[in-house]
Structure 1
Amino acid sequence: MSSTVIESIEQPDNGRAVPGAARERQVSEFTELTKMVQSAGLLRRRYAYYWTRFAVILLLLGGTAFAFFAIGPSWWQLVVAAVLALVLGQVMFLGHDAAHRQIFVSGRWNDWASLVVANLLAGMSYGWWNHKHSRHHAKPNTLGADGDIDAGAIVFTTENLERERTGIAGWFTQRQGWFFFPLLLLEGLNLHISGVKTIFGRGAVKRRPVEMAFVTLRLGGYLAIVFWFLPVGMAFAFLGVQLGLFGLYMGASFAPNHKGMPIVPASMKISFLHRQVLLSRNIRGGRFVDLFMGGLNYQIEHHLFPSMASPSLKKVQPMVRQFCADRGISYTETTLLHSYRIVVEYLNEVGLAARDPFQCPLVTEFRAAR
């Protein structure tokens, strides 16, 4: 057995052994849950909430810009850069919601909201990110389908290793968990570069001219202002802090939701309900965590109902949790700090498993959890 891949996941069958009947029951289970959620009014649009959120973000961006020009060429600008990184994180959470059709009924309105928020305000490519993220939502933690677990600098599963890593690469991989969060300091730059390569290359982009214009205006104007207003050394330091903390913030918000949860092969037959619940993790912690993670801490509910407005996820959580408990479906949630510990330990175990194929830490942990 692989060190990181669950080859089978037990699903309750209530005594029914006929595969076709089991599949029908699993489909009817999610239909039943959906009807409960609809009856509770939790799929309705939250226009006032999102317009307020958009206005607050514009005010925060305006306040940050005012502070930048008011402070002038001073090393206090690094504080402004740190604040800007956090504000842009909130911008991307809003762009994430728009991309999931959470804000408007009209798909076109949501698309344009995503373009304005992600491309024009944050300098990110909506088209690139949406294509990648849609694959993740369809089959999270699935080999060959979820790009978020493809091997890169970090190895998320030994099955995605093209060859054994030796020397410095091998040493790093065996300790990769400890390097994961420091490496996220480069993620902000990577996100911008990946988007630019896609919209100016041959990647699938729906509104390429618009994305090119918005990203060029945003990134070009941003760099011009920073280097015009600050000394060169200070300008580079400003960009380093802003991009570094932005990448760390994004990674620290997305990584706890799936890293360290079971990974399944593409050939596994598993219902939508079971796939989204068993392969996702919720993060509890109250209002601070809700704000810090932009609602992504309710990851199970978000994967079940991706078009649900983010403030409704908290309300639907008790319903989903009880629904899973009644049917014996494992529902995972933990604290933010504990999730970080899980991520670090899991990645280290994967790195060691690349050297010792007989270790199976994730399977052991999953079985113990059940």
Structure 2
Amino acid sequence: MGDPHGVGIVGLGVISRAYLTTLANHPTVRVVAVADLDAARSAAVAAMTPGAEAVSVERLLAHPGVQTVLNLTIPAAHAEISLGAIDAGRNVFVEKPLAVTFPEGRSIINRAASAGVRVGCAPDTVLGTGTQTARAAIDGGLIGRPLSASAVMVTPGHERWHPNPDFYYTPGGGPLLDMGPYYISALIHLLGPVRAVSGAVSRLRAERVIGSGPRIGERIPAEVDTHVTGVLEHANGVLSTITTSFDGVATTAAPIEVHGETGTLAVPDPNDFDGEVRLFALGATAWRVLEPRAGYAEGSRGIGLIDLVRAGDQRPPRAGGDVALHVLETMTTLLQSAAEGQRIELTTAVALPAPVPLTPVEDWKAIGQTGR
């Protein structure tokens, strides 16, 4: 099976814990180095991760044992760290979004192609049994020809739970760039690429109040729009509507619904790996829950990096940089459309990622560097 694939992690904030839970004891990979602007945090994480060394970012990028850099920095730093890793000859798997701007995202993909390294990007939640079972149902004709879809994410804002929520309200943040990657990635896995978008935006208030942690009660500015809605025109003619909001309280809408000629699918939250996929067939009298039929069972954050490593040169990673770039262009163009008040066509297209066969948790947690 060969030696485990060496991973270096840059950025050790809240989300890093979820990745480390998946990667720290996985036989396919080995976390060999960690880096953060807070040296004490790096040391603490290294002490809890067998075989990991706490180093500076510069040392991590040049570390001889690091083959792939897991970039978990704030969005504003995604491009800088990813490009540095690529220039050092490392693969990159980056937390969403791929970058803050589309030109930055394109530069990551282009430079990686020139360097002969691979790029993966969150969300990898779309590789779980939730989205993948819905895709298998669509591919299998359970709703007939898809006609339309809706995606809805409504929350009162991350400042209610996150102790340092500032970056959610600065350029590169906002509900679309933060949460949109989950919903748009899922729509692309389900329905294929997007060819054009139309959007509208609003901002409920100019400040947010931190609701937890040592900074509770502190006011921070909201520099970006906090309610975004739009229409995505897929290349196959399907129309998807999307709403992402940090201004609402709650919603009864399904996270994603896909409507076809002979049925409707209710798709679970794409921020999760699993969840019930429900079908209401034409002529039926009630929803029917579909048994999981595809995806990484009990998936967790980091499975996309493992999928990238296992793919090698045999196939593109399923949570690949090409999909992430298309998602980034979809989002940034939607915001541009809102600013300009017009429909805009996209410049990128992407092949539908390979579906994930139903893979029991004991298989993907123990599997080596080659496989499906």
User: The TM-score by the shorter chain falls in which range?
Assistant: under 0.3
Larger Rg computed on CA atoms: 1
Structure number with higher relative contact order (C-alpha < 8 Å, ≥ 6 residues apart): 1
Q: Which has the higher helix share?
A: 1
Q: Which has the higher strand share?
A: 2
- TM-score normalised by length of structure 2: 0.23
